[in-house]
Amino acid sequence: MRDVPSCASRSLVARDAELFFHQEGSSPCLAGLAAVEGIWLEDLDGRRYVDLHGNTAHHLGYRHPRLVAALRDQLEGLTFSPRRFANENAARLAEALLRHWPGPRAKVLFATGGSDAIEIALRLALVATGRQEIIALEGSYHGHGFGALGLASARVDPRLAWTQPSRHHVTPYWAPGGAERMLEEIERILARSGGGVAALVAEPIRSNCHVPPDRLWPELRVLCTRHGVKLIFDEIPAGLGKTGRFFAFEHFGAVPDAVVLGKALGGGMLPIAAVIADARLDVAPELNLGHYTHEKNPITTRVALETIAVIEDDGLAARAARLGAYARQAVETLACHNERIRRWRGRGLLGAIELGHGIDAAAAMRACFRHGVSTVTKPGNALGFSPPLIIDESDIDLTIERIDRAVRTP
Ligand SMILES: Cc1ncc(COP(=O)(O)O)c(C=O)c1O
């Protein structure tokens, strides 16, 4: 294995930089990717990396044999479904998701990405409540939707004529003293708004691995119900077992009016996202609130169906809880011997390692990459530790050993 990237790898990264618009979150690329398998990435030079990031789409690891078989099989059958036709895979996926829903009767809509699915959830809330205002957490991320609807015509349905001034941003629970401030600020907004708030949108467990106090969501659930505000949970990264429960909100016993899933729903293979929402939000059949060309694509829905089946059959949510506790213990033990490791934070396998003084997360991330671990920085001078749920104890040990060596010689 070589230390310096080969010409082939450098040349692919250079072509990529030339061809694509640059973006803060992904440019420049680190290396050319050749293969993915299980918990591993392999670059064009044959270097292998444990993938602790995977854009949180790799709950099942890569090329899971059941998904590969399901995809191959589907390619021999129905490959597209124009929207006026029902198809078995889409219906079965909806049924599979709804079997996990702990609330009153719900319905679903699918999209090809999380951002679109978030917009669907917002549209459902606006239309069902007839209100315009949305509360979100300062510094959160819910995708790149633009509320693009308003661009299409000057004659937008008045229930959807929604603009930036109708959004409120409150202190997030991950700020110091954040949970109390968040509750107070939301209470104040609701008291002043005179019934104008349609929805509160938030990640129940932040993908930056911040977990709120247990009582926060139950209290906000009561407040939202009292004010007729729809509670929308974005579980695009944290859902589908990652935190140790199928839905992250199940840790808190607060059922939202809508939850949005994405990323891992496509098995780390195909793009698909879903909104599961209280069936009482289904009030506007005269509008198109989630009308996308590929919403019920039989291939994406087949892979998502198989993904849910693997999560269920292999008990991956419980496995994430168990292995998350194992990783936490291993990191805390390491922290006693390596002062550059401070502590673990997160829930299940949605974790981060906070670094001590004398090392900066960006330098640590680059060192990890050289030691065969692909990860990202997280706020609070931390490194993401979000492996696939199929990882085992020995690969967690190996990964932590590599991180230990990397942070000692960044
Ligand atoms: C919390 C959260 N919401 C929404 C999104 C957007 O999902 P997508 O990139 O599939 O549009 C992301 C993506 O990273 C996310 O982390």
Residue 264 sits in a domain whose CATH number is 3.40.640.10
CB distance 103 to ligand 1 below 6 Å: no
CB distance 271 to ligand 1 below 6 Å: no
Residue 115 inside a domain? The answer is: yes
Going by alpha carbons, the residue nearest to atom 6 of ligand 1 is 143
Residue 2 inside a domain? The answer is: no
- Look at residues 391, 394, 399, 354 and name the one whose alpha carbon lies nearest to residue 374: 399
- Are 273 and 166 in the same domain? yes
- State the DSSP string of 45-70: TS-EEEES-GGG--TT-BS-HHHHHH
Catalytic site includes residue 141: yes
Residue 111 inside a domain? The answer is: yes
Q: Using CA atoms in the order 77, 83, 89, 92, what is the torsion angle rounded to 10 degrees?
A: -160
pLDDT of 164 reads: 61
363 CB-near residues (< 8 Å, 6+ apart): 410
CB distance 266 to ligand 1 below 6 Å: no
Residue 151 has pLDDT above 70, yes or no: no
Residue 1 inside a domain? The answer is: no
- Are 290 and 400 in the same domain? no
- Are 178 and 118 in the same domain? yes
Give the domain extent around 361.
7-63+315-408
Query: Average pLDDT in the 42-46 region?
Result: 95
- Are 247 and 265 in the same domain? yes
- Are 127 and 258 in the same domain? yes
Query: Per residue in 201-223, pLDDT tens?
Result: 999 999 999 999 999 999 999 99
- Residue 210 forms beta bridges with which residues? 206
pLDDT of 3 reads: 63
Residue 240 inside a domain? The answer is: yes
- Look at residues 315, 275, 309, 352 and name the one whose alpha carbon lies nearest to residue 120: 275
Question: Among the three residues 265, 292, 313, which one is the final residue of a domain in this structure?
Answer: 313
Going by alpha carbons, the residue nearest to atom 13 of ligand 1 is 143
Residue 371 sits in a domain whose CATH number is 3.90.1150.10
- Are 326 and 357 in the same domain? yes
Name the average pLDDT for the chain: 94
Cβ proximity of 266 and 272 under 8 Å: yes
Question: Among the three residues 313, 339, 356, which one is the final residue of a domain in this structure?
Answer: 313
- Are 247 and 111 in the same domain? yes
- Are 256 and 394 in the same domain? no
- Are 287 and 325 in the same domain? no
Q: Global pTM?
A: 0.96
Query: Average pLDDT in the 124-129 region?
Result: 95
Query: Per residue in 254-302, pLDDT tens?
Result: 999 999 999 999 999 999 999 999 999 999 999 999 999 999 999 999 9
- Are 28 and 155 in the same domain? no
CB distance 264 to ligand 1 below 6 Å: no
Nearest atom within ligand 1 for CA of residue 117: 11
The token duo for 21 is 């618009």
How many domains does one find in the chain?
A: 2
Going by alpha carbons, the residue nearest to atom 16 of ligand 1 is 237
Going by alpha carbons, the residue nearest to atom 12 of ligand 1 is 143
- Look at residues 127, 339, 331 and name the one whose alpha carbon lies nearest to residue 230: 127
Question: Among the three residues 278, 294, 313, which one is the final residue of a domain in this structure?
Answer: 313
CB distance 141 to ligand 1 below 6 Å: yes
**Which residue type, as a one-letter code, is found at position 198?**
A
The token duo for 314 is 């292999």
Query: Per residue in 47-68, pLDDT tens?
Result: 999 999 999 999 999 999 999 9
- Are 45 and 85 in the same domain? no
- Are 124 and 211 in the same domain? yes
* Residue 368: half-sphere exposure toward Cβ, Cα within 13 Å: 29
The token duo for 56 is 């949180």
